Amino acid sequence: MSVAADHWLTRIRRLPSPNCDARGEGERPELVIVHCISLPPGRFGNGLVEALFLNRLDTRADPALADLDGVRVSAHLFIDRRGRATQFVPFDRRAWHAGLSSWRGRPSCNRFSIGIELEGTDTGRYTAAQYTRLGRVLADLFDRYPGLGPDAVVGHQEVAPDRKRDPGPGFDWRRVLLPLARR
């Protein structure tokens, strides 16, 4: 796996989301934001996250989905519980993942970040397969985009602390970042 010239990862599933647009002039990836998601919360492997990112989610299917009616969101990448990755937005485009956010005094993190969603909850733990895949993806991103490195990988809670808690206390930052710092 590597980041190709078209800003898509090689050898993973691609499902292009309409929920993206061009980055601002001169904007490039300088931050990776790690998120978590499951729909309905705590349920895994049902394809509903993909449906959300593709604007195909039937919000009437479960009362827990009702507040997502009309929501248009995406992430660059989704990593399921088995470690399978699906890319929705090429890395040179702005995915709609962070919302109202700020990092090191810079507002609107979507302009300069890559959003990676892990299938999970902000109160649970993540799988070994997810950590392995995330580590490989981050290494590939660091190789492709010189503005990225271990110090530019944060959780959603760090860029939107008043609104978000993900990926949560069950996420093992050392497990992901220590091997990357040694590269």
Mind telling me the catalytic residues? 117
Nearest of 88, 95, 80, 79 to residue 31 by alpha carbon: 95
Q: What are phi and psi of 179, to 5 degrees?
A: -60, -30
Distance between CA atoms of 164 and 28, rounded to whole angstroms? 24
Given a contact cutoff of 8 angstroms between Cβ atoms, the answer to whether 36 and 167 are in contact is yes
Q: For residue 56, give every residue at least 6 positions away whose Cβ sits within 8 Å of its Cβ, in sequence order, or none.
A: none
